[in-house]
């Protein structure tokens, strides 16, 4: 077999798509998650029900849309509600998975999408929450996707926009939050989960060409590395073909 070539973003998207199951409902945030959700639907999860914050539920999106609200995303949706309604439906229990990106994620799975540096005088002002906080607060469990760098995986986020386990075990319950919280983190170096007892981020698999040591080097906190970590399977030819030909044919995002 010839060696399959792929970009870091393609690997992230393929690894993330595998985590979505057929028949689940997934609240999809913008950016990489949108690409992952479109790929999963074309691969193994044709009956996955996507929810978008503009109000569209279960559409059949065309190739990579520009926005989670645009007409390519909402295409053929059987119902288009309002923003407050779809978040209400999540809180009611209709969102199994929240699928998110962000600028930073810390050891307890808290996510920052607001600012780098102090809030009042930020070095970088980011977009703000958008639907991210609601997706993380109201879905049953949460998948995060992003690039893996020490400053993007700090011990503590500069600002907590979306809740993970907050300050650790019991944090969500004390704050009054619903849902199980963070479940998986996909980066271009590996797939992470969270330790049941300590709620700290742990490595589940490292991507081809990477070692657990490299993943640790690019993480700004001590990553738990269990003995049973494995190598992430490479993207398959079928995954890459669908991604390149049907999901993102113009290589707008998975460059």
| Residue 190: CB minimum distance to other proteins, A | 23
The window from 5-13, 15-23, 126-134, 192-200 that contacts other proteins (CB under 8 A) reads: 126-134
List C-alpha distances in Å: 167 to 43, 47, 155, 192, 205: 37, 36, 11, 18, 25
241 binds other proteins (CB under 8 A): no
Number of chain positions touching other proteins (CB under 8 A): 59
| Known catalytic membership, residue 53 | yes
Q: Is 160 in the site for other proteins (CB under 8 A)?
A: yes
Q: Beta partners for 97?
A: 26, 141
- Of the residues 10, 24, 53, 222, which is catalytic? 53
- List, in order, residues 6 or more apart from 252 with CB less than 8 Å away: 64
Phi then psi dihedrals of residue 49, to 5 deg: -100, 115
Q: Which two tokens mark 113?
A: 């999408």
Least distance to other proteins, CB of residue 202, Å: 22
- What backbone phi and psi angles, to 5 degrees, belong to 112? -115, 125
- Asked if 70 is part of the footprint of other proteins (rule: CB under 8 A), the reply reads yes
Rule CB under 8 A: choose which of 25, 114, 139, 232 binds other proteins: 114
Q: Which of 186, 182, 82, 190 is nearest to 135 (CA)?
A: 182
* 82 touches other proteins by CB under 8 A: yes
> Which pair of structure tokens corresponds to residue 54?
């503009």
Q: Site residues (CB under 8 A) for other proteins?
A: 30-31, 34, 53-56, 62, 66-72, 74-76, 80-84, 87, 91, 110, 114, 119, 121-134, 137-138, 159-163, 166, 171-172, 174-178, 252-253
**Catalytic residue IDs:** 53
């Amino acid at each position: 077999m010839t060696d399959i070539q792929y970009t870091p973003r393609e690997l992230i998207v393929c690894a993330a798509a595998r985590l979505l199951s057929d028949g689940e409902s997934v609240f999809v945030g913008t950016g990489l998650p949108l690409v992952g959700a479109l790929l999963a639907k074309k691969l193994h999860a044709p009956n996955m029900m996507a929810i978008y914050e503009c109000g569209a539920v279960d559409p059949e999106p065309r190739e990579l849309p520009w926005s989670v609200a645009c007409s390519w995303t909402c295409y053929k949706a059987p119902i288009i509600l309002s923003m407050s309604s779809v978040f209400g439906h999540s809180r009611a229990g209709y969102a199994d998975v929240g699928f998110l990106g962000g600028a930073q994620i810390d050891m307890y799975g808290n996510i920052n999408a607001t600012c780098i540096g102090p809030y009042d005088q930020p070095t970088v002002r980011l977009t703000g929450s958008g639907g991210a906080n609601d997706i993380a607060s109201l879905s049953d469990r949460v998948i995060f996707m992003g690039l893996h760098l020490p400053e993007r995986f700090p011990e503590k986020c500069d600002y907590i926009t979306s809740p993970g386990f907050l300050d650790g075990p019991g944090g969500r319950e004390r704050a009054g939050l619903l849902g199980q919280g963070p479940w998986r983190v996909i980066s271009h170096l590996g797939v992470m989960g969270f330790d049941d007892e300590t709620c700290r981020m742990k490595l589940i698999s490292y991507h081809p060409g990477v070692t657990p040591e490299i993943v640790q080097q690019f993480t700004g906190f001590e990553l738990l590395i269990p003995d049973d970590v494995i190598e992430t399977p490479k993207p398959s030819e079928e995954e890459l073909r669908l991604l390149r030909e049907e999901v993102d044919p113009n290589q707008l995002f998975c460059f």
